Structure 1
Amino acid sequence: MALRTRAFLAAGAAVVGVVALSGCGVEAKDAPAEERSFPFSGDSLTIHADDSVLELVPADVKDVEVTRRTDGWVFLGSGPEPKWELKGGKLVLDQRCDAMASDCEAWHRVKVPRGVAVTVKDDNGSVTATGFDKPLNLHADNGEITVKDSSGPLELSSSNGGIVAEGISSKRVTAESDNGSVRMAFTSVPDLVETTSDNGEIGIDLPRAAYSVTASSDNGDTKVGVPRDAKSPHVVRARSDNGEVTLRTAN
């Protein structure tokens, strides 16, 4: 029993040492890049990622093209074991580590054929999408979502992270964050914007027009700086449980 106890304590001390030495974490973006093309046909793509930063762009390509960088370490276990595969319109991008102690990270850049709608579920990592004119449905369990220069309908949600949409001309946008701010900047007048945050500020910049506005905060100021018309076909709803809500006309 004494030998077992000493072995366990030694293992525990080793874990502490490993964690202490690796406290700064790994940086997948600095790891060597791998590239792969996946044959694809269809008008919609679903991406499931785990422990990965995702960057999505539409491109003049026939197949789905992926660049990945992975890095990490494990102690008393297995991994890192990166996985990428595309079956039945679903692209899986995983970085698996199963150990007593580990620090694993992945970064993926996905080129999507133009004209394809994209749905993303990222279990742990941020998601960035730029330049899409087709629908985007992006969800992150633990990470920020950023959309830039896009015009297709947007459905954005994060369980723990902010949501940012910049330079968008989408007509319909839904954004929901359980714990994080929501910030949007439109370049053209939307038809419907619905935003909620359980714990974070909401800020929306809108082109000059009259909007049917519903804005509220249970714990924070509400500032509406856009023209209001209850009969307007352009509807904006913004609600925060804990944070300021601001709607303003973009310069």
Structure 2
Amino acid sequence: MSVRTTSRTRRLAAMGAGAAALALLTTGCAQDASADGGAEPEHKSFALAGRALTVDSDDSRIDLVPGDGEEVRVTRWFSGRALLGSTPRAEWTVEGDALKLRVRCGGLVAHCDAKHRIEVPADTSVTLRTQDGTVTAKGFSAPLTLHGSDASLTVEEVSGPLDLRTTDGAITTRSVSSTRVRARTEDGSLVLGLVEAPDRIDAASKDGPVTVELPEAAYDVRTAVQDGQTNVSVLEDPASSRVVSVTAQDGNITVRPSG
């Protein structure tokens, strides 16, 4: 009996020591990405040689908006914390007309939070690719291409051609007057809200519902669904030059008048 009691006491002591060590790490040895935790915004500006910007991002929330100058202006908010290992950090680099945004989070029990606001000169087309983050874009008249992996995309008040794609996340557009819209999602809902009649819409979802809201006009609506229902309540005309093509593999399709 005494042997078993001693063994249990040693195990409890070891567990207590481990908990104490973890508490010490939590209270006294954590590493911050910066002295103030990244609360203050940082700024970066650069000139464009042409009228096209490419953005490559990961692990960050992105806000894209038109700017009032001739330079690309980037504002970054970043905070990071790790108990052990390398200190989290954020990086931004520019090569030509390409902006690369990276967030490095390593170590034990790491916390990272990053957000970037990118102001783009008017009439500049934007191509953005991101992984693991949300993207919002508002107010663009030039072509806009947003491709994401594990990312949700939200677009508002744009009038230029749209190319939207994500492999794991929702796609939502509001108050869009683009004549051409292409949107695809593999795992998430897809909602396209238009305020002007488009020439062409191509919308597809692999796993999620698709909703297309259109202003009053006649449309050549083409739908295909594998596992779901289809509801079309706009005026249909197979001879119309306005083509709306919607497909869904596993989800319902709704094409209705915009409210």
TM-score (norm 2): 0.84
Paired residue for 1:189? 197
Query: What corresponds to 2:71 in structure 1?
Result: 63
Structure 1 residues 195 and 32: CA distance shift in structure 2, 3 A: same
Alignment correspondent of 1:22: none
Counterpart in 2 of 1:88? 96
Greater gyration radius = 2
The whole-number CA distance in structure 2 between the counterparts of 1:244 and 1:14 is: 49
| Number of the residue aligned with 2:138 | 130
Q: Structure 1, residues 86-121: CA drift from partner, whole Å, max 9, x if none?
A: 111110111111224422121000000001000001
- Measure, in 1, the Cα distance between the counterparts of 2:104 and 2:57: 11
How far does residue 172 in structure 1 lie from its aligned partner after superposition? Answer: 0.6
SS of the residue 1:85 aligns to: strand
Q: Which residue of 2 is the match for residue 33 of structure 1?
A: 41
Aligned mate of 1:109, from 97, 105, 117:
117
From 162, 180, 188, the equivalent of 1:172 is 180
TM-fit CA distance, 1:237: 0.8
1:31 shift after superposition: 2.5
- The equivalent of 1:222 in structure 2 is 230
Looking at structure 1, the residues matched to 88 and 46 of structure 2 have their Cα atoms a distance apart, in angstroms, of 22
Cα distance in structure 1, aligned partners of 2:81 and 2:236? 55
Amino acid aligned to 1:86: V
Query: 1:30 Cα deviation (Å)?
Result: 8.4
Partner Cα separation in structure 2 for residue 69 and residue 166 of structure 1: 26
Deviation of 1:77 (Å):
2.2
The whole-number CA distance in structure 2 between the counterparts of 1:101 and 1:198 is: 34
Instruction: Report the equivalent of 1:156.
Output: 164
Deviation of 1:151 after TM superposition, in Å, equals 0.3
The residue type equivalent to 1:248 in the other structure is R
User: 1:31 and 1:245 mapped to 2: Cα distance?
Assistant: 43
Question: TM-score, with normalisation over the residues of structure 1?
Answer: 0.87
Question: Deviation above 3 Å: which 4+ runs of structure 1?
Answer: none
- Secondary structure of 1:218 counterpart: strand
Give the letter aligned to residue 104 of structure 2. R
> RMSD between aligned alpha carbons?
2.2
The one-letter code sitting in structure 2 at the alignment partner of 1:228 is: E
Helix, strand or coil: the match of 1:122? strand
1:76 to 84, 91, 95: 84
Quick one: which amino acid aligns to residue 239 of structure 1? T
1:78 to partner: Cα distance: 1.4
What SS does the corresponding residue of 1:193 show, helix, strand or coil? strand
Q: Please say which of residues 92-101 and 236-245 is displaced more in the overlay.
A: 92-101
- Equivalent position amino acid for 2:203 in 1: T
Separation in 2, partners of 1:217, 1:33: 46
Runs of at least 5 residues in structure 1 that lack an aligned partner in the other structure:
1-5, 19-28
Deviation, 1:10, is 4.9
The alpha-carbon deviation at position 58 of structure 1 amounts to: 0.7
Q: Distance in 2 between matches of 1:32 and 1:182?
A: 35
Matches within 5 A, 1:9-28: 10=18, 14=22
Q: How many residues align?
A: 233
In structure 2, what is the Cα distance between the partners aligned to 1:172 and 1:49? Answer: 25
Q: CA deviation at 1:74?
A: 2.1
